Structure formats: structure tokens, C-alpha cells
Structure 1
Amino acid sequence: MLFYWFLKFVAIGPPARVVFRPKADGVENVPTTGAAILASNHLSAADWVFMPLQLKRRVTFLAKAEYFTGTGVKGYLQRAFFTGAGQVPIDRSSASAAEGAIQTGIRSLREGQLLGIYPEGTRSPDGRLYRGKIGVARMALETGVPVIPVAMCYSSRRLPFGKKLTRVTVVFGKPLDFSRYEGLGGDRFVERSITDEIMYEIMTLSGQEYVDVYGSTVKKSMDATGASATEVIATLQPPATEAADRAPTSLAG
């Protein structure tokens, strides 16, 4: 716990603020007490640094187990760093592992924590917003906590001497309440509808183009074929008119 605050206020936070000057909009939408899910797009490995910097509360993230299984001095230091930084290890290698990750998130929420989640399940391969996985909906239904959509927005401007300066803005949207679906956990249609509503709000906040394909699927095809994300998506997505019909829509009200 102390290491988390050391990283935030001494080791990482101050340099990140000086270099990137991150800004935040909508911080008032994040509850000051009690559990909530912060569901964010995922554009950079630094996302988990910039989002918590904008909040007074500690944010817990679910991180891949490989960060915690290294050996030797390097493995020990890496494990200590991610544990101290508020990361909780999850195994993403199988369906049963995915269920374990969901249960880990539910336990964190029942302890009253702020849980940071990337519904896409991986970093965007090309800056677009990809289809969300339904684990976030499961956690929301099982715990009844609000979901705060979050948009990480990066912009850059060229400086006179040729370098680029990256600016970061973190946008926290209005809390999403899914109590109308109480008792429907496990219904795949309901969970998909909730996830699509969350992704719609993230899309609206971030201004990203939405792709109705899992980012992990695109990455695997890119690695296997050497094709670009756009080329892979063309082979996976339905025609343009049908794709438009399948874009995430807000189901509020």
C-alpha cells in the first residue's frame, strides 16, 4: 500500500506530470467512497499510470499473471513493483482462467475498491476502439456497482526544434447504473447488451472509431500474416452497412 503512494507521489507521478501535463475532465463522476468499475479504452502501456494520477483514491488493476511469475532478481523486482502499484495478477490463458479473473475482480469490488478494467482485453493495435469482452458486465451485475466509462485521449504537437510533445487527457464519464438488469447475471444477451452500452459511452467520450471485432483476434492475425490491422479487419468484419448496424448503441432508458 505504501509503495503505491510512493510511486504515485514521488517516483512516477511528479515526472509524469511535468513531462506530459495530464489533464482530467469529469473527476467528480468518480465516487469518493465505495466500489466502482473504471472501464477504459486502452491505447498505451502508460494508461494505468495516467488514470490513477487524476484521482485521490487508489485504483486496482487486473494485470496478466506473467508480470508476477519471473525468477531471479529481475523477477522479484518486477513482482514487487506490480504488486506495490496496485496490480492484481490474473491468468488469461483459458476460459477457466477468464472466469478466475472475473471472480478476482468481483472480490476486489466487494472489498470496496475502485477497479480499473480495459474491456477490450488488450491494447488497441491501431488507435481504434475494439469490441469489449463481457467480463466487465458480469462484474457489474454480480456486485451492483456503478460503471464509470473512461477515455484516455492522447494528442501531440510538434515543437520548434522538431520534437513532439504528447499531451494526455483523461475523461471520466457519468456513472452507468445497470440495476435494471438485477438478477440477470449469466444471461449472455444481457451481458453483451451491457458491454456494448459501456463501449458506446467510451466511444462517445474518446471520439475513437469503433470496430466490431476483438482486438486480440486482430493482433493474432497480424502476427500470423504480417498484414496491417486494416487488412485484417477487412477479412473479419461484415460489409459497411451491416457493420454500421452492429455498432454499439446506448441502451439507457
Structure 2
Amino acid sequence: MQFKFGGIHKAILGATLGLMSLTADAAHQIVNVAGTAGPWNWELGGLNGDYAYGLGADGSDAIPDYTPPARLKLADIGIGAGDSIYITYLDGLTNAFGDVPNVNNNGHVGSVFKDDELGSSGQVLPSYYYESEWGKNQDPDDPAPYGLFLQSLVGALTDDGGNIVQLLSVGSVIKLDSGQGFVYGISFELPVGATYVQFGLNDDIFGDNTGSLNVCVSSVDEECGTSPVPVPGAVWMFGSAIAGLATYLRRRV
């Protein structure tokens, strides 16, 4: 899997708050991902039961509050098994605390809610299942700046029934020789059995989330462009880790 990312000098990524309508042509489609969307549907003992997250994941009576993932049938843009797929975050902002949307696809960078840490509900986030991207696996001596943070963009490849074939993320904060790298695009070959790509956010409580993100899925490299419009610095600073300085967000009450 290949990543597109920016180092510290490209850390401020994002775009305007305007919602884009769904657009498509023969090679790509733009998908709008609601801030309340989970990356996959799950049911204990049923669909994706081994990938439960958020409210009710521990088998309690709590009812999951995520909305369905944003979903695209890959055949609609001519992508099948063995073909290359390119996924790029375009624009949009969300917020996991019911406030004005202010974080891009990397989410609330610096939050204590990330990787395999429990969310404020006491349940795991979807990032629990992305072990290779955890900060402690990138740098055991200094894991805090890296990993999959609260409200980062995550997703999955599924079959027609919604069963997970492969996990994917478009929001990792990764370690580079120069410091933090902020992933905003990925590319890879589509595995056998995957017919849909779907997206949601990395969270455990979704009902108070705001905003949305726009994601381009394409069969052609750079079909959707590679230079997202920057977010104003004052907006981005709320939940980011510029130059490796993490701002830890308070636990929800």
C-alpha cells in the first residue's frame, strides 16, 4: 500500500466547510462521509462481529449510535480485483465533541483517544483493529505523536453483504525521518472478494459528531488532485500537533 502525505511543513491540510454534491465520471467518484458515520456495520455474533467498536461493543445493552458508512460500489468506476485504487481526502472538517467542525481527515491529533486506547465510553475505537498503524508500533519510545487519533478517517473494503475483506485508513499520522507525516491519500491493488469501499470516522460515541469529509475514489492516479486547500491555522490548531507539540483534549463528560 502506498501513502501520500505531507511532513511538518505540509501539516496543515484540509479545506472549506462547504458540502460537495456527489459527482462521478468513468474513472472516479467523490463520496461525502458524515461525521457521525461508522466505518463498517457490526453485530455481535453476526456481521463483522469480531470488529465491534463503540457503544455496545462489550456486549452490554448500550445501542451503537453510529450512522451507516459512506459506501461506493467499485464496479461503478471500473475497479475490480487486481486493479489499482486511489483514495484521496479532498476537503471538509468534522468534530467529535459537538462543536464547530475543525479537524480534517487526521482527526483530533494529540488526543489521548487513539489506537488501542479506550474511548470515553469505555469501549474500543475502530483504530483498535489497525495495529500496524499504532504509534507505539511506529516508535515505542515516543508513541504519542503518531497513530490513528480520534475522528480520523478510516474505512474498509467489503463484499456485497458488508463483510470486511480488508481494513484501510486515510488519516494516519506516521513517523518520518523529519518528524510527523500526515497521510491524506493511499493507493493499492484491490484484493479478490472486495466489491465496495466504505468510510467512517474513528470514534466510540458518534451521536454528537458534526461536519463531514469529502473523499475521492479513483482508478487513475492523481485523477482527483493531490493538493488539498489548507485550513486556516487558527482553526487547525485546536486539535493538531504542529511540530510535534501535542494538545491533549479533555475527556467527554
After TM superposition, the score normalised by the length of structure 1 is 0.29
Indicate the structure whose relative CO is greater, using CA pairs within 8 Å and at least 6 residues apart.
2
Which is richer in strand? Answer: 2
Q: Is the radius of gyration larger for structure 1 or structure 2?
A: 1
After TM superposition, the score normalised by the length of structure 2 is 0.29
Which is richer in helix? Answer: 1
